């Protein structure tokens, strides 16, 4: 098991700081009347565009969509199916750890480079990790033998 001492750690850059700030601003639009957990996500796309999203809860809790997936859906709607994600930042207004959930990791895997940095609040502060360390073995049809 990994400890915080041997965690893979990326480097915070001014660009990632700006992306994180945008995620923080997006969190202000969170619709989270049930959990009060206000999350924002910001994606930097190849070509330089930035797209943000926030979590949108529902009274039928399972229908809630996370900020990361909200941003991703918005990015595809705005820029088309060929988008590539170069960096992701996640923030919340609750000063709580907020790594992307498993569902969001798998959905991001469809569009993100393995070495893309993912910035998120961890229990010990802001963490920067390569996507391939955040989700080391994404489901991929290539692995099932059903598609080449």
Is residue 66 within the footprint of Zn ion (CB under 5 A)?
Answer: yes
Q: Is the dihedral of CA 74, 113, 22, 68 positive or negative?
A: positive
Calpha distance 70→100 (Å, rounded): 12
68 an active-site residue? Answer: yes
Q: Which of 68, 78, 82, 86 is catalytic?
A: 68
- Write out the two tokens for 48: 């330089």
Is residue 104 within the footprint of Zn ion (CB under 5 A)?
Answer: yes
Q: Which of 101, 136, 139, 143 binds Zn ion (CB under 5 A)?
A: 101
Calpha distance 28→24 (Å, rounded): 7
Q: Which is nearer to Zn ion, 46 or 99 (CB)?
A: 99
Calpha distance 124→3 (Å, rounded): 12
Contacting range for Zn ion; rule: CB under 5 A; set: 1-9, 25-33, 81-89, 103-111:
103-111
Q: Which residues pair with 43 in a beta bridge?
A: 51, 88
Question: Number of residues in contact with Zn ion, rule: CB under 5 A?
Answer: 3
Closest-by-Cβ residue to Zn ion is: 66
Catalytic residue positions, numbered: 68
Q: Which residues bind Zn ion (CB under 5 A)?
A: 66, 101, 104
């Amino acid at each position: 098991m990994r400890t915080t001492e041997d965690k893979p750690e990326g480097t915070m850059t001014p660009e990632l700081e700006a992306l994180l700030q945008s995620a923080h601003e997006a969190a202000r639009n969170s619709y989270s009347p049930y959990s009060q957990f206000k999350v924002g996500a910001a994606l930097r796309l190849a070509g330089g565009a930035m797209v943000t999203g926030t979590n949108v809860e529902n009274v039928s809790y399972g229908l809630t969509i996370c900020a990361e997936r909200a941003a991703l859906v918005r990015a595809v709607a705005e820029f088309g199916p060929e988008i590539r994600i170069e960096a992701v930042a996640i923030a919340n207004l609750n000063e709580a750890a907020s790594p992307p959930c498993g569902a969001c990791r798998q959905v991001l895997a469809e569009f993100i480079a393995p070495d893309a940095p993912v910035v998120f609040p961890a229990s010990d502060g802001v963490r920067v990790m390569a996507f391939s360390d955040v989700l080391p073995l994404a489901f991929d049809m290539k692995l099932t033998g059903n598609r080449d």
